[in-house]
Amino acid sequence: MLKLSANISLLYRELPFLDRVDAAVRSGFGAVEVMYPYAFAARDLKAALDCSGATLSVLNAPPGDYQGGERGLAALPGREADFRESLETAVHYALTTQCGNIHVLTGNVQAGLDEALLEATMHRNLSHAAALFAQHGLTLLLEPLSRQMLPDYSLTRVEEASRWLQVLKAEGHDNVSLQVDLYHTQMEQGNLAALLLRYLPEISYIQIAGVPGRHEPTIGEINYRYLLDLLREHRFSGWVGCEYVPMHATDAGLAWARDWGLLKRPEKCLANA
């Protein structure tokens, strides 16, 4: 059975943030994922996880000046000190919450940036991140993001992310893996089934949402039932993150996951219903 994780940055938005953890467990999730938890104390998030029995499956490292349009710092020359500080913050949250995965966004870059400088900056920063995370038993995740959503993003295709993975592994960094958001991948390059089969040995985290609109995976052009069956057939053991914007109330919108045998409400919740 595939392991689903609820993205509580997008799901259960009818509830206060920390209350969403318990709501996800009541819906049948064993884990939650968070985009940017940094508006809340790590200890408070840990308390919410402990109270509900949920796992935090992944978090994003701080993106820099989010309101100013920054989406990560790894590819930004001159921001190395800020990047390293962001990693320390992410590690603190990961260790406090016992989250084993950190997605490091590589960042939006200005047009005309010298390619050699960008490459050298990313190489230096990602190598540092992998080494730092390894000291704490954490995995660095790299995720390509679509230019339709982020026109200036520095890592947009699965092939590019895989290349960086091989560069880091060649240096002895074994704690690196791919996170593939099929919503972004469909908009950027399509060919989802073939890409999954080709890169599945390098992928430890997958996210899903309908295209277009980023709603439930039953809405739109992607045949998620086929793709999720393919993952089960190939015994994918990583998390599948539900990173979508519900059309209506979150729990009611999870009928697809129950119908497909991917989610079952806990017995204690059924008894109290």
- Count of other CB atoms within 10 angstroms of residue 218: 17
Task: Map residue 186 onto helix, strand or coil.
Answer: helix
CA-to-CA distance for 153 and 145, rounded, in angstroms? 7
Instruction: State the catalytic residue, choosing from 14, 88, 143, 202.
Output: 143
Continuous H helices in the chain: 19-27, 42-52, 80-97, 115-135, 158-170, 182-188, 192-199, 224-233, 255-259, 267-271
> Residue-wise over 33-42: b if at least 16 C-beta within 10 A, else e?
bbbebbeeeb
Report in angstroms the alpha-carbon separations of 29 from 6, 35, 91. 7, 17, 24
188 included as an active-site residue: no
143 included as an active-site residue: yes
**Position 61: which residue type?**
A
Active site amino acids: 143, 243
